[in-house]
């Protein structure tokens, strides 16, 4: 039997299992080792699931996470389906995620077998279009971010803020220890931003860049900000959906 909940909920019990819930609202996780599984979250907030600082062990599995556009209290200036503000990797797997402008936001985590689609362009309170990404990481991470076997689509037009399907940005520190393997990527200004000139330990292998929205994966190309000289960086087996190999241009 499905449990129905309305409102923004705070979870404060370690080891809590949320199974089969239908939530209209959001989940704030102030606990360790919480599992969300076989559930549906329709957020009227500017996040779906948020692991708060100081906590660890979150798993979000086989769950649908979507939103009502424009309902966030800051008018979408921050906008994410799952955010890891905690102290360890989290797992997000086999989830169906839509609407949020920055769907999966984290520096460390295991993101696998998810379908991220139908992102919605959004403005902040000043009326400025905000960047949209299916996966976004701001750098400075201490753990590993693994992105594997996902379908990551960003259909938002560039003039309304489209950034990437996977955006690795050095906004808060150096980007490092990222594995991107076997994903299907489409949309954004570039489908992939690779972390910039300081990025290291970035392994990008066997991904497909689709022409679903743009002939070259993203509006301006498949990949930008790739550092071929970073220690441990690897680019191998990446191709367009017609089989044409994708070779990144060096970072300026």
Poorest-confidence range of 39-48, 123-132, 215-224?
123-132
Q: 3-class SS at 211?
A: coil
Quick one: average pLDDT of 216-220?
97
Closest CA to 177 of 209, 204, 149: 204
Provide the CA 117 distance to its chain's centre, in angstroms.
11
Note whether 80 and 86 are within 8 A (CB). no
Domain ranges within the chain, ordered by starting residue: 131-252
Q: What is the reported pTM? A: 0.95
83-125 confidence digits (pLDDT tens)? 999 889 999 999 999 999 899 999 999 999 999 999 998 888 7
* Greater pLDDT, 240 or 67: 240
What tens digit of pLDDT does each residue of 151-194 get? Answer: 999 999 999 999 999 999 998 899 999 999 999 999 999 999 99
CB burial of 221-243 (b: ≥16 within 10 Å; e: otherwise) equals bbbbbbbeebeebebeebebeee
């Amino acid at each position: 039997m499905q449990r129905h909940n309305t409102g923004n909920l705070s979870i404060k019990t370690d080891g809590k299992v949320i199974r089969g819930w239908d939530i209209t609202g959001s989940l704030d996780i102030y606990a360790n080792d919480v599992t969300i599984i076989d559930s549906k979250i329709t957020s009227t907030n500017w996040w779906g699931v948020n692991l708060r600082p100081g906590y660890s062990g979150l798993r979000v599995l086989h769950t649908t996470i979507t939103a009502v556009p424009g309902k966030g209290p800051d008018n979408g200036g921050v906008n994410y389906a799952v955010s890891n503000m905690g102290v360890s990797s989290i797992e997000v797997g086999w989830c169906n995620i839509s609407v949020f402008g920055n769907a999966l936001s984290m520096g460390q985590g295991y993101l696998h077998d998810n379908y991220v689609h139908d992102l919605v362009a959004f403005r902040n309170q000043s009326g400025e279009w905000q960047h949209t990404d299916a996966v976004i990481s701001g750098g400075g991470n201490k753990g590993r971010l693994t992105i594997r076997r996902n379908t990551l689509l960003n259909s938002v037009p560039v003039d309304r803020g489209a950034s990437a399907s996977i955006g690795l940005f050095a906004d808060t520190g150096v980007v490092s220890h990222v594995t991107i393997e076997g994903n299907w990527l489409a949309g954004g200004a570039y489908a992939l931003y690779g972390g910039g000139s300081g990025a290291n330990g970035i392994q990008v292998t066997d991904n497909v860049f689709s022409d679903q929205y743009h002939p070259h994966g993203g509006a301006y190309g498949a990949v930008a900000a790739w550092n071929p000289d970073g220690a441990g960086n690897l680019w191998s087996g990446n191709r367009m959906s017609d089989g044409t190999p994708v070779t990144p241009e060096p970072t300026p």
